[in-house]
Amino acid sequence: MEGKFMSEILKVLSGIRATGRLHFGNFLGAVQNFVKYQKDGNICLYFIADWHTLTTLENPEELRTNLTEIVKDYLAAGLDPDKSIIYAQSSIPEISELCLYLSMLQPLGELQTIPTYKELVRKFPNRVTLGLLTYPVLMAADILGPKATLVPVGEDQVPNVELARDLAKRFNNRYGKTFPIPEMMQDMVRIPGLDGEKMGKSDADNSIDINASIEEIRRRYLTKGVTDKNRVRASDPGDPYNGCKSVYPIHELVTVEETENRQIAKACQAAAIGCAECKNILVDNIARILEPFQERRRELAEKNEYVREVLREGGKKAHRIISITVSEVREKMGITIY
Ligand code: AMP
C-alpha cells in the first residue's frame, strides 16, 4: 500500500476543532473511528485543533472551555491516554513552522478551489482571512508532522486530506523520500442533521449534541427530523434511500439489523411503518450507543485537572515525534538554526 512505505504499523492521526460541543456527526464520523484504531501495534495521535478553531471562533473563553470539554468527550468515548496521544495542536509550535515550509510548495490557486473554503466564503463573506485560506496547509502540517499513514475523518475532509497527500508527494519529489502518503478510510460517512444537510457544530438547529438527554434527542427527531416529503399519509409508501433525508441514513449506521436485512427500509417502502415509529426506533438505537458514553462523560465532568494532565503528557509525547520530522524538513530545505 502506497501510504505505508515507511512501516507496516499504522500511524493514525485526526483532530477536531474546538468550535463547540461535539455532535453525533463528529461521534460517528470521527471519534468512533479514533477508538476503533486504538489498538496494539498502532500509534494514534488525536488532537484538538485549537489553531484551526481561530478561523471561525473569536471568544477566547469559549475556545478554552470547548477544548477541555472535547477532551472529556474523547475520554468518555473510549480513548485511553496510555494508548493514544491526546494533545492540543497549539502545544506543538513546530506544526506552524512546518505549515510555513509546506506553504512554499503549495500553489495558491488550488487553495481557492477547496469546497470547504468556498462554502465558508459563501456563508461568511466578511470573514475571509489568510488563515481561512491556508487552513488546508496547516491541516497538512498536522498530518505530515507525525508522518501519519492513516487519517480517519468524515467525508467532508476528503479534499483537505487529498491536499496533504499532494504536498507529501511534492515534498518527496523535491527533497527526497520523507513523508509516507497518508491514506483515508474506505468507509467514510457524512451524517445528515435534522434538516437533511450535513450535521455541523455551527448549526445548532440541525445538530444532535451527544451530551443531550435521550428524551431531548427523541423530541428533536420527532419534531424536526426531515423524512420523505412525498410521503404525505402514513399509508403512502416511503422512499428510505433517496427520499428520507435525516432518519434512514442514520439507521444504516446505528441499527444493526438494517445492514443485514433492510427490515426498516422494506417496512417503509410497504408503508408498514410510519415516520414517527421509525424515528423512535432510531432514537432507541442511538441511545444504545450514547447512554454508556454519557455515563462515563458524567464521571469526567469535574475532572478538569486530570484533563489538563492528559493534555500536558500528550503534548510532550506529540512534541517528541513531530519535532524530529521538523528537524529533518529544515535540514532537507537548507534551514539551519544558529
Ligand atoms: P469538525 O467538527 O469540522 O472539526 O470535524 C471534526 C471531524 O468530524 C472531522 O473528521 C469531520 O469530517 C467529522 N465530521 C464533522 N461533521 C460530520 C458529519 N456531519 N458527518 C460525518 N463526519 C463529520
Which atom, in ligand 1's list, is nearest to the CA of 22? 2
Q: Is the CB of 134 under 6 A from ligand 1?
A: no
CA distance linking residue 84 with residue 45, whole number of Å:
6
Smallest CA separation from ligand 1 atom 17, residue: 25
Q: Whose CA is closest to 17, among 108, 135, 126?
A: 135
The C-alpha cell 486530570 sits at 306
CATH number of 4-191+303-333: 3.40.50.620
CA distance linking residue 20 with residue 46, whole number of Å:
17
Smallest CA separation from ligand 1 atom 12, residue: 154
Q: Residue 2 has what pLDDT?
A: 41
- The domain locations on the chain are 4-191+303-333, 214-299
Q: Do domains 4-191+303-333 and 214-299 have the same CATH topology?
A: no
Q: Is the CB of 192 under 6 A from ligand 1?
A: no
**For every one of its 338 residues, what pLDDT tens digit does the chain have, with 9 covering 90 and above?**
444 434 468 999 999 999 999 999 999 999 999 999 999 899 999 999 999 999 989 999 999 999 999 999 999 999 999 999 999 999 999 999 999 999 999 999 999 999 889 988 998 898 899 999 999 999 999 999 999 999 999 999 999 999 999 999 999 999 999 999 999 998 899 999 999 999 988 777 899 999 999 999 999 999 999 999 999 988 999 999 999 999 999 999 999 888 888 999 999 999 999 999 999 999 999 999 999 999 999 999 999 999 999 999 999 999 999 999 999 999 999 999 99
> What is the torsional sign of CA 297, 299, 302, 305?
negative
Q: Is the CB of 147 under 6 A from ligand 1?
A: no
* 3 state SS of 34: helix
**How many Cα neighbours within 13 Å face the side chain of 92?**
34
Fold classified for 214-299: Tyrosyl-Transfer RNA Synthetase (1.10.240)
The CB density around residue 108, as the number of other CB atoms within 10 Å, is 9
Question: In Å, how far from its chain's centre is CA 279?
Answer: 25
Ligand 1 mean position to 334 CA, how many Å?
A: 37
Give the alpha-carbon dihedral of 267, 273, 276, 277, to 10 degrees. Answer: -90
CA distance linking residue 22 with residue 261, whole number of Å:
31
Q: Is the CB of 156 under 6 A from ligand 1?
A: yes
